[in-house]
Amino acid sequence: MPWAKIEHPIMLDFPPGKLCSSEYPNHKHGCPNYGKRPTCPPQASIINEQFPGQWWAIWNKFEFFNHTERMRKAHPKWTDRQVANCLYWQGRARKCLKIELGRFRTIERLMTEPDAEFETVPEARGVNVTETMKLVGIDLEWPPKYFTYQVGLIFVIGDSICALPTKNIQPSCSR
């Protein structure tokens, strides 16, 4: 199964906005979503990983190499950067992650509370995804060459998926 219970996520040792605001090709000021979406830093709250309850990591393994090879054949004049551009694969991969969430809920027989969150961008909430995935035996490739993973987190109390606990705020979970 592409999910596993973890003691708690491993947190970044620096503010998550530092990643998002870092320059990368054609984005001098970092991610264009930084400071604009409520699910992105600095608005996104930092997860409090110390609350009692169960943490689950859920992931989707995407065949990145196969995708890039298909794109090379379809667009022989494209550069390596164009072939690997996340605009052409990330939407499908994220959809697969949400399908895994549905399978997880069904198989683990977990209820979802109305305000429950499934965090599909845990790094925006302060999680070190690379180190957290090592807890379940998965070493992420950076940069990805053969596979890339989309990782989500769920916090569970009893038999209910709850809103992820944030710093200084109790998790929301009606019982």
For the chain, percent of residues with pLDDT exceeding 90: 36
Q: Which pTM value belongs to this model?
A: 0.85
Ordered by start, the domain boundaries in the chain are 3-162
- For 6-28, how does the pLDDT look when each residue is reduced to its tens digit (9 = 90+)? 988 999 998 888 888 888 888 88
Spans of the chain, pLDDT less than 50: 175
CA distance 77 to 95: 29
Structure tokens at 27: 């984005």
73-89 b/e (C-beta count within 10 Å ≥ 16 → b): eeeeeeeeeebbeeebb
Structure tokens at 54: 């169960």
Q: Are 20 and 53 in contact (CB under 8 A)?
A: no
47-62 b/e (C-beta count within 10 Å ≥ 16 → b): bbbebeebbbbbbbeb
- CA of 40: how far to CAs of 17, 35, 169, in Å? 8, 7, 18
